[in-house]
Amino acid sequence: MTGVVGLDVGSDTVSVCVLAEDGRELCRRQEIANSAAGAGTLLAQLAAVAADAEITAWQIGLEASSLYWWPLAVALSARPAITVFALNPKTVKDFRGLLGNPPKTDRHDAYLIAEWVRLGRHLPAPFAVDWHYAPLQRLTRYRVHLAGALAREKNYFLTMLFLPFSGFVASHSFHDPFSPTSWAVLEAYTTDELARLPVEELVAVLQHHGRNQFHDPTATATRLQQAAKDSYRLPSALEDPLRLVLGSTRATITTLQRQLKELDRTIARELAGIPQTIDTIPGLGAVWTAGVISEIGLIDRFVDDAALAQYAGLTWTVHESGHFQAEDTRMTKRGNHYLRYYLIEAANSVREHCPEYRDYYDAKYAQTPKHAHQRALVLTARKLLRLVDALLRTNTIYVAPEHRTTRKETAPRTERPARHHRTRPITAIT
């Protein structure tokens, strides 16, 4: 007989619920410490219950939220006769509604998780860690965190800059408002000083810091100076506080950019030790390749590219009734958001380097006036996912479309299993 365990994991404690196959609770719900010692206590208690109830195997479920669950899942999955399932928290939340929204407590949550695993419907693939990819995955996930922090800091800086220099962003004087030339101008001059500065002197500053790369420095200087003249004038009491805020934010941005560069070099070194061929796709550099590879792991985990798309959350809801079928459907976004992030960022880079994907993006962009860029980019990412899946399965390099006929004749493609979209298990996020 197989026993079922539901674990609601917190930073300090883990609530435990143990069920038999028929739904009976085999012992009282309890809490253990979320530590190595607590995991040992849980294993000892399960061994005692197994001896009394003649249980030969255990299925253990827990929510894959934050990182508090991960060390415990690793410790439990390493034991024989134990299968661990990392469940999507959204699935457990939806299941709560089906049971009439019982009280929201840790012990009730442990029961919900155990009951969902006991029913055995739409369970993810068993939790497993591939230590070949795990170090790279930690680096690439940290990069997502750093990139998000940098984006938030840049947005905050531009918001605060609007107070002393309201016309800076709207003037579009610089293609990148955080370029070295832009930094140099903002550090050297206040808004009033910039408005009074002779155009010739400002042109010289732009040429010096821009290394003579401006196509029309006089036009840029004129536009920037006009933006300074049109900006709001603030009371002098705000000058020092804003100077401190902008200076501190600028330093934070510089630090984050430096950390990202160092992290990218580390990711590239780590990727070099992993055999793969998807970096032969034009525009797919080391960082995007590492992000995709580290989240996919072994491609054999997935039945086909549709299963991989489901894992990444690059699927769309279906809304139909009778002869009606909705045209406006939402992306599910259920799955590994790190993989989805790297696939979309990779698609944005690939479309700029690969004519096949640029044409596809342009075609999808032209199909709708609403959210055209986001829609076209996500669809391009879905197309890219199919190519990534094919290259990983066949261990071949990318070949431009015009050269694929010859290659197919020399290396026939292996048939894949038939697709069964509605019955395929979703691989767990690890």
- What number is the average pLDDT over the span 290-304? 92
Residue 324 has pLDDT above 80, yes or no: no
DSSP lists the bridge partners of residue 321 as 324
Residue 379 has pLDDT above 70, yes or no: yes
Q: What is the pTM of this model?
A: 0.83
CATH 3.40.190.10 fits 2-119, yes or no: no
Spatial separation of the C-alpha atoms in residues 26 and 52, rounded to whole Å:
9
Express each pLDDT in 330-345 by its tens digit: 666 677 899 999 999 9
Packing angle between helix 217-230 and helix 199-209, nearest 10 degrees?
120
Q: What is the structure's pLDDT at 318?
A: 60
Residue 347 has pLDDT above 60, yes or no: yes
Q: How far is CA 356 from CA 301, 368, 371, 400, in A?
A: 28, 20, 22, 8
Q: How far is CA 349 from CA 43, 140, 343, 377, 419, in A?
A: 48, 17, 10, 10, 29
Spatial separation of the C-alpha atoms in residues 125 and 86, rounded to whole Å:
8
Spatial separation of the C-alpha atoms in residues 243 and 208, rounded to whole Å:
24
Spatial separation of the C-alpha atoms in residues 355 and 352, rounded to whole Å:
8
Spatial separation of the C-alpha atoms in residues 393 and 39, rounded to whole Å:
37
- What number is the average pLDDT over the span 285-310? 92
Express each pLDDT in 350-359 by its tens digit: 999 999 999 9
Q: What is the structure's pLDDT at 334?
A: 72
Closest-CA residue to 85 (of 22, 128, 119, 48): 128
- What number is the average pLDDT over the span 234-262? 94
Residue 168 DSSP SS3? helix
The domain spans of the chain are 2-119, 136-268, 275-410
DSSP string, 41-110: HHHHHHHHHHHHHT--EEEEEEE--TTTTHHHHHHHHTSTTEEEEEE-HHHHHHHHHHTT-----HHHHH
Q: What is the structure's pLDDT at 94?
A: 82
425 CB-near residues (< 8 Å, 6+ apart): 122, 123, 124, 125
Q: What is the structure's pLDDT at 323?
A: 54
